[in-house]
A = this chain, B = another copy of it.
Amino acid sequence: MGNKMVIADKNVELKIRAVGLKPTRQRIGLARLLFIGCARHVTADELFAEASESGVPVSLATVYNTLRQFVDVGLLREVLAGPERSYFDTDVSHHHHFFHVDENRLEDLPPGSISIDDLPNAPAGSKIERVDVVVRLTRK
């Protein structure tokens, strides 16, 4: 029964090595929470709470360090949904989001939603890094 999990752990470890980071106990624990299973959107605090509950020995500082590092190497994407905290998305492919403002929760737009036409040229001296679309939702 622990077999599949051990394999998943090995994959996670390889994933961390592949981007040039040491597979420490903390990084493996966090990466398991992030990358095994469906794609997800987390805040630093949520991930820290999950890690604590599931017995991954890690400090909040390391959660922040690890999230930044994972973003830097392209394992995670930071989603800008509001000024109060950062969200991290395990799906790094190009896609857009609903943001439930009453619950502080991100949700992917259904595929095929939103096609942007007439994208403007970048002002002189600048180049477009990316285009973020956030559909803000409130309770009906």
Chain A, range 99-115, C-beta contacts under 8 Å to B: 100-101, 107, 109-110, 112-115
Chain A, range 110-128, C-beta contacts under 8 Å to B: 110, 112-120, 122-123, 125-128
With an 8 A cutoff between CB atoms, is A94 at the interface?
no
CB atoms of B119 and A116 under 8 A apart: no
CB atoms of B136 and A122 under 8 A apart: no
Number of residues of chain A lying within 8 A (CB) of chain B: 40
- Digitize A4-43: 1 where CB-to-B-CB distance is under 8 Å, 0 elsewhere: 0000000000000000000000000000000000000000
Within the assembled complex, what's the spacing in Å between the Cα atoms of A130 and B136? Answer: 5
- Digitize A79-110: 1 where CB-to-B-CB distance is under 8 Å, 0 elsewhere: 01111111000000000001011000001011
